[in-house]
């Protein structure tokens, strides 16, 4: 079937394209010939008009010459010399076969007309020269009368010859029209033959092929219905199997997600325990030792140093010990702030904002109720605090912000944590396409902690319009 379709389609396409091309060619040729003939007929009428006008001009010039030689008054307003120049120019245009029209010139080719104009030229020159003599005021009256006699003698011959020229123009125009009619008949006949051939070579094979294909389709319809019934039964079994496989895959995926979530939760919980232990070690161990070192150093302040340089070095040492103690306390607070377990999340976030503002010089604000503690589980408090801490660090390091705001509120049975800045912002699409960007800015850690809390996260950011991160967790 497929090979038959391709073969039939190829043959029909070739025949149809050839037939359309021939019909179009014949139609365009006929239109071209008709338009060209119409244009030529218009030009022929212009030529006949000019040739007929020459007869009229010669008679008018003869009349004006008679009136002028005899001194008879007349009401003809045309100038004799202007009319004579027009008559001469028109004759030269006809002789040169180049007649000016509005958009150019009309040219023609005719050996009989060329011969007639050659025979007419001596008669025209004779009349024209005598008319020039009559037009001159300095010529004697007797000479003008002789010239007028020459004009009257040559005028019948000129008019007769012009009649022949006009009739020849008309004859050639009629012959071109008859030639166009013959060509039109030929083109019409060829178009009819092409249409007949198209019916025999294209439409008849199409009918035969269609009849054969329909018969083949009718014969195969029963077999196809039977095959469809079998396929339908097999498809039903396949759908059931696919549903079962899909259910198993979903269960496997859910189980894998649960395992990943438990593993991540255990990892984060272990990290938090390790941070807590390390913070206690710093605070109770190194912190106490540094505090003792500071006390001993302060006792040595009473000792008088003989060298002023030694005194300055001792003061620098005391300052350095104080800076180390402050840095140790800051590290211990970042690892596990004691205010989080003593006073709750709101107080810890407020203290975090104050420390960030002191260290970075950026205006960091906290909005929330610190007087009344929101009761939530210990992992939830730690998770939300780490999310706020990570987002705040991102804003300080990357956003180039002038103002950062952390907002904590309880909406019925839901905790809403919002971190917003007025920094440079970023394209949300970069979070999906640039893995290094996610790791560098801690967004993946924030999402992971939000998922472990069964919460929802929303990130709104535009370039040069700041960033807003909202985390919502059910109590």
- Domain contains 314: no
Q: 238 is written with which tokens?
A: 């396949």
Tell me the sheet residues that pair with 418: 407, 470
Last residue of a domain, one of 192, 215, 238: 215
Q: 302 is written with which tokens?
A: 């009473």
Cα separations in angstroms, 272 against 84, 279, 286, 381, 394: 121, 10, 20, 12, 20
Q: In degrees to the nearest 10, what's the CA dihedral of 86, 88, 93, 97? A: 150
The C-alpha atoms of residue 292 and residue 290 are separated, in whole angstroms, by 5
Bridge pairing between strands 104-107 and 403-411: unpaired
Single out the residue of 266, 375, 391, 382 nearest to residue 335, CA to CA.
382
What parts of the chain have a pLDDT lower than 70?
A: 1-12, 15-16, 19, 23, 26, 29-44, 76-77, 101-108, 202-203, 257-258, 260-262, 264-288, 290, 294, 296-305, 326, 328-330, 332-336, 338-339, 371, 430-441
The C-alpha atoms of residue 359 and residue 357 are separated, in whole angstroms, by 6
User: Per this entry, what is the length of the chain?
Assistant: 475
- Domain contains 106: yes
**pLDDT score for 435:** 41
Q: Domain of 193?
A: 2-215
Last residue of a domain, one of 193, 215, 237: 215
Q: In which order are the strands placed within the sheet that holds 467-474? A: 363-367, 403-411, 414-421, 467-474, 456-461
Last residue of a domain, one of 215, 236, 268: 215
The C-alpha atoms of residue 271 and residue 244 are separated, in whole angstroms, by 40
**pLDDT tens by residue, 97-129:** 777 766 666 666 778 888 888 888 888 888 888
- Domain contains 258: no
**pLDDT score for 302:** 62
**pLDDT score for 1:** 46
- Domain contains 446: yes
- Domain contains 317: no
Cβ contact 424:399 at 8 Å: yes
Number of domains in the chain: 2
Q: Residue 174 belongs to a domain with what CATH number?
A: 1.20.120.1730
Residues 36 and 179 in one domain: yes
- Domain contains 309: no
- Domain contains 100: yes
- Domain contains 221: no
Q: Residue 445 belongs to a domain with what CATH number?
A: 3.30.565.10
Q: 388 is written with which tokens?
A: 């706020």
**pLDDT tens by residue, 387-397:** 888 888 888 88
**pLDDT score for 270:** 62
pTM over 0.75: no
């Amino acid at each position: 079937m497929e090979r038959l379709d391709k073969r039939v389609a190829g043959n029909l396409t070739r025949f149809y394209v050839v037939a359309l091309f021939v019909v179009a060619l014949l139609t365009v040729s006929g239109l071209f010939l008709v338009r060209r003939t119409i244009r030529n007929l218009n030009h022929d009428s212009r030529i006949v008009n000019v040739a007929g006008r020459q007869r009229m001009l010669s008679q008018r010039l003869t009349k004006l010459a008679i009136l002028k030689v005899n001194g008879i008054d007349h009401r003809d307003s045309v100038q004799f010399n202007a009319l004579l120049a027009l008559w001469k120019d028109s004759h030269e245009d006809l002789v040169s076969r180049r007649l000016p029209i509005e958009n150019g010139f009309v040219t023609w080719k005719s050996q009989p007309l060329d011969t007639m104009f050659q025979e007419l030229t001596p008669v025209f020159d004779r009349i024209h020269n005598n008319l020039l003599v009559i037009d001159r005021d300095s010529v004697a009256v007797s000479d003008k009368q002789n010239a007028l006699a020459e004009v009257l003698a040559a005028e019948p011959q000129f008019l007769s010859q012009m009649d022949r020229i006009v009739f020849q123009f008309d004859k050639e125009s009629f012959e071109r029209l008859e030639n166009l009619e013959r060509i039109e008949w030929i083109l019409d006949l060829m178009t009819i033959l092409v249409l007949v051939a198209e019916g025999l070579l294209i439409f008849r094979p199409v009918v035969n092929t269609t009849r054969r294909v329909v018969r083949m389709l009718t014969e195969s319809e029963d077999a196809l219905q039977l095959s469809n019934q079998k396929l339908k039964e097999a498809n039903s079994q396949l759908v059931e199997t696919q549903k079962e496989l899909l259910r198993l895959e979903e269960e496997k995926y859910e189980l894998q997600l649960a395992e990943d979530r438990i593993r991540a939760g255990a990892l984060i919980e272990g990290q938090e325990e390790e941070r807590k232990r390390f913070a206690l070690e710093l605070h109770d161990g190194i912190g106490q030792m540094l505090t003792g070192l500071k006390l001993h150093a302060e006792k040595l302040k009473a000792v008088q140093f003989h060298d002023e340089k030694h005194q300055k070095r001792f003061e620098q040492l005391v300052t350095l010990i104080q800076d180390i103690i402050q840095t140790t306390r800051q590290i211990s607070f970042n690892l596990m702030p004691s205010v989080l377990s003593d006073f709750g999340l709101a107080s810890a976030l407020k203290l975090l904002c104050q420390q960030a503002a002191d260290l970075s010089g950026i205006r960091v604000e906290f909005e929330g109720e610190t007087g009344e503690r929101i009761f939530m589980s210990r992992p939830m408090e730690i998770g939300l605090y780490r999310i706020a801490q990570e987002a705040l660090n991102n804003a300080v390091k990357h956003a180039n912000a002038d103002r950062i705001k952390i907002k904590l509120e309880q909406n019925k049975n839901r905790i809403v944590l919002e971190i917003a800045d007025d920094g440079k912002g970023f394209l949300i699409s970069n979070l999906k396409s640039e893995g290094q960007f996610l790791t560098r800015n801690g967004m993946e850690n924030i999402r992971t902690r939000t998922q472990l809390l069964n919460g929802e996260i929303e990130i709104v950011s535009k370039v040069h319009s700041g960033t807003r991160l909202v985390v919502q967790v059910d109590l």
